[in-house]
Amino acid sequence: MTLSLKGTGISNGIAIGKIVAMQTGELEISEYVLPKHLVPDEIERFHHALDIAKQQLKDINQGIPDSAPSDISAFINTHLLMLDDSTLSKVPEQIINERQCNAEWALNMQQKTLVNVFEEMDDPYLRTRKDDVIHVVTRVQRILLELEKHPHEIPASKLRGRIILADDIAPSDAVLIMHQGIAGFITEHGGTTSHTAILARSLGIPGIVGLKSARRYLEEDETIIIDGESGDVVASPDEYTLKHYRKKQRDYKRFLSELKTLKGKPSRTKDRRNIKLHANIELPEDITAVKRVAAAGVGLYRTEFLFMNRTDSPGEEEQFQAYRKVVKSLNGAPVTIRTLDLGADKQVDGSGRTGTVTTNPALGLRAVRLCLREPAMFVPQLKAILRASAYGPVKIMIPMLSNLNELSQVLQLIDEAKFELKQRKQKFDNKIAVGGMIEIPAAAISASAFAEELDFLSIGTNDLIQYTLAIDRIDDDVNYLYDPVHPAVLKLIQMTIDAGKKTNTPVSMCGEMAGDVRYIRLLLGMGLKEFSMHPSSLLRVKKIIKESNTKELAPLARRVLRNSNRAKIVELIEKMNQQNL
């Protein structure tokens, strides 16, 4: 009988195939109390399992095909580093000692502690890093429990053309599974920003995550259809449904090859307006994806990722190397490097920073506020960015500005960093552009004042929406209120675009809204000329731009802005998207 289920689609495309079920994620673990004299043996058993886990990861790393995106080995290296970190190599040992318990249980306890820390984090990307902890711990527990062979050892012939069904897929397993020609996958856990989801998107493999209890409803060898965009799953489809989805699959493939032809083509509207399309990156390795779509440059380099998953902070030299790598590999295309956006809840182990965890971390000491409080951390970053500017066009972007005083303090520190580099006789671009993110309502309302002092503005809609609507962007309970087209949000975006026009200051948008195909025409109509987004959205957005006429969209956008009725706003936006404008 046909059965329909719905999860969260994380990568576009349709997959049709038979299920291969796997058990990869968290295990059911019980606690055993050990006699004291067996504790040293248990500790030895634990360390032996750690060694095997490391060896497995090293083997996986060696087997990564050349065709895999370069960020894949970064996932594996992160897991290797985690195994060496005292939080996973020493703390469980202490737990075994203190509780006289089995190693599996000690790992479970430590996993819970670490997961809680990650769950408190404000950034959705970092929050899903808790999955990495779970994946690493599970790998060691499987070894301790001598469970059946790991999923990566399943023969390729059993995976080709199949749809994987698992409780969860660790990125290290995903690397191997996804290079065996699988058609798609479904997991019961995981989020849209998990490494596995990122990998699936970069490889164009349709996937669905967060389909709770999927393994209860779906069976090995059953034929299913998954729609990676809508999150729809159809099990045991009838002929009619199969035909419908096969057509959708063919249409999508055609659409993709059409998109590929847009690579390198100008991003210009029908009324001949040039629109800049930049990419957002998090690590130097992301440049591969940027090049794959020939983005005009990097509009947001989230540098805080250099500081995560490690026990020390990268110093000036290490940051310089990373920034220079990005700048050089872009061959003259501009790179906008955002200064640190770490928050009170995102302290990095061993950084030496102190501070209490506040109840409202999003409103606390994060981003530029933290940087100004801790110049010893901030100034080396400014110097590293400045030094990288000797190798190609670089811009500095300041996150979370809320008043002009903060800005003048940052400008003062940039001057001091320049002075020191001059003394050291190190090269940099003395005229480096400095811009600010408009992501706090106060900054949007004062956008003209910021524009007078800055070389460019960039609208961070992820935070702008959060702060305008007073909803925590990571709190599932208020997620339903997160609305990019709330009239107040649109007014603030319009104010910022207008301030840019008035002062002749370029305005870009680098929040998720800029890569969301539903809002491109509205933003074009509002006068936005620069967009920065995840590379995977870029060609789709370019297609919309090439099919749009900003002159005809502008009056409709004005109508949207005059409206305060959400339903009407949505209707008008849909009209903009449907019409041949």
In the complex, the residues that contact ligand PEP under the rule CB under 6 A are 300, 302, 341, 439, 460-463, 510-511
Rounded to a whole number of angstroms, the minimum distance from the CB of residue 473 to ligand PEP is 8
Indicate which of ligand PEP, Mg ion, none lies near residue 510 (CB less than 5 to 8 Å, by partner kind): ligand PEP
Residue closer to Mg ion, measured from CB, 93 or 341: 341
Beta bridge partners of 336: 395
From ligand PEP, Mg ion, none, which one binds at residue 508 (CB under 5 to 8 Å depending on kind)?
A: none
Binding residues for Mg ion, rule CB under 5 A, total 3
Q: DSSP string of 454-519?
A: -SEEEE-HHHHHHHHTT--TT-GGGGGG--TT-HHHHHHHHHHHHHHHHHT--EEE-SGGGG-TTT
Return the number of the residue (60 or 340) whose C-beta is nearest Mg ion: 340
Compose the 82-121 pattern: x for residues touching Mg ion by CB under 5 A, - for all others. Answer: ----------------------------------------
Sheet harboring 232-235: ordered strands across? 3-6, 232-235, 223-227, 14-22, 163-166, 184-187, 207-209, 8-11
Alpha-carbon distances of 18 from 110, 174, 438, rounded to whole Å: 37, 18, 48
Q: Judged by CB under 5 A, does residue 122 bind Mg ion? A: no
Which CB, 173 or 512, lies closer to Mg ion? 512
The entry of ligand PEP, Mg ion, none that residue 150 binds, CB within 5 to 8 Å by partner kind: none
For residues 323 and 428, which CB has a smaller minimum distance to ligand PEP in the complex? 323
| Residue 461 contact among Mg ion, ligand PEP, none, beta carbon within 5 to 8 Å by kind | ligand PEP
Distance CA 119, CA 129 (A): 9
Measure CA 317 to chain center.
25
Question: Cβ of residue 300: shortest distance to Mg ion, in angstroms?
Answer: 9
Q: Which does 484 bind (CB under 5 to 8 A by kind): Mg ion, ligand PEP, none?
A: none
Q: Which stretch binds Mg ion (CB under 5 A): 66-74, 77-85, 454-462, 481-489?
A: 454-462
Confirm if 72 and 175 have CB atoms less than 8 A apart: yes
The tokens describing 11, both together, are: 């990568």
Binding flag, residue 168, Mg ion (CB under 5 A): no
Residue 300, both tokens: 């947001």
3-state secondary structure at position 191 = coil
Minimum gap (Å) between residue 73 Cβ and Mg ion:
28
Cα dist from 100 to 83, 104, 144, whole Å:
22, 12, 16
Residue 398 contact partner, candidates Mg ion, ligand PEP, none, CB within 5 to 8 A by sort of partner: none
- Which residues on adjacent β-strands are paired with residue 224? 17, 235
Of 532, 529, 526, 521, residue with least CA distance to 574: 521
463 is an interface residue for Mg ion by CB under 5 A: yes
Strands 232-235 and 223-227: antiparallel
Residues 386-445 that bind Mg ion (CB under 5 A): 439
Answer with the entry of ligand PEP, Mg ion, none that 134 interacts with (C-beta below 5 to 8 A by kind).
none
The distance of closest approach from Cβ of residue 367 to ligand PEP in the complex, given in angstroms and rounded to an integer, is 8
* Nearest to Mg ion of 49, 396 (CB atom): 396
- 525 makes contact, choosing from Mg ion, ligand PEP, none, with CB < 5 to 8 Å by partner type, with none
Q: Least distance to Mg ion from the beta carbon of 90, Å?
A: 35
Spatial distance between the Cα atoms of 122 and 27, rounded to a whole number of angstroms: 27
Mapped onto helix, strand or coil, the DSSP state of residue 410 is: helix
- Nearest distance from C-beta of residue 399 to ligand PEP, angstroms: 7
Check binding of 131 to Mg ion (CB under 5 A).
Answer: no
Shortest Å distance, C-beta 299 to ligand PEP = 9
Compute the radius of gyration of the chain from its Cα atoms.
25
* Residue 42 makes contact with Mg ion by CB under 5 A: no
Q: Which residue's CB is nearer to Mg ion, number 203 or number 337?
A: 337
Which tokens sit at 412?
A: 């003062």
Return the number of the residue (436 or 460) whose C-beta is nearest Mg ion. Answer: 460
User: Which tokens is 396 given?
Assistant: 């500095």
Would you call 78 helix, strand, or coil by DSSP?
A: helix
| Nearer Cβ to Mg ion (345/463) | 463
Q: Binder to Mg ion among 207, 460, 515, 527 (CB under 5 A)?
A: 460
DSSP bridge partners of 398: 436
User: For residue 248, which of 16, 19, 18, 536 has the smallest C-alpha distance?
Assistant: 16
Q: What is the residue-wise DSSP string for 329-361? A: HTTT--EEEEPP---TT-PPTTS----PPPS-G
Give the residue closest to Mg ion by C-beta: 463
DSSP 383-432: HHHHHHGGGS-EEEEE-S--SHHHHHHHHHHHHHHHHHHHHTT----TT-
- Residue 112: which residues within 8 A CB-CB, separation 6 or more? none
Work out whether 484 is an interface residue with Mg ion (CB under 5 A): no
Amino acid at 226: I
Please give the positions annotated as active site. 195, 510
Q: How far is the CB of 417 from Mg ion (least distance, A)?
A: 23
Give me the least distance between CB of 335 and ligand PEP, in Å please. 16
Nearest CB to Mg ion, comparing residues 259 and 372: 372
Q: Residue 302 touches which of Mg ion, ligand PEP, none (CB < 5 to 8 A by kind)?
A: ligand PEP
Q: Rounded distance, CA 98 to CA 102, Å?
A: 11
Query: In the complex, which residues of this chain contact Mg ion (CB under 5 A)?
Result: 439, 460, 463
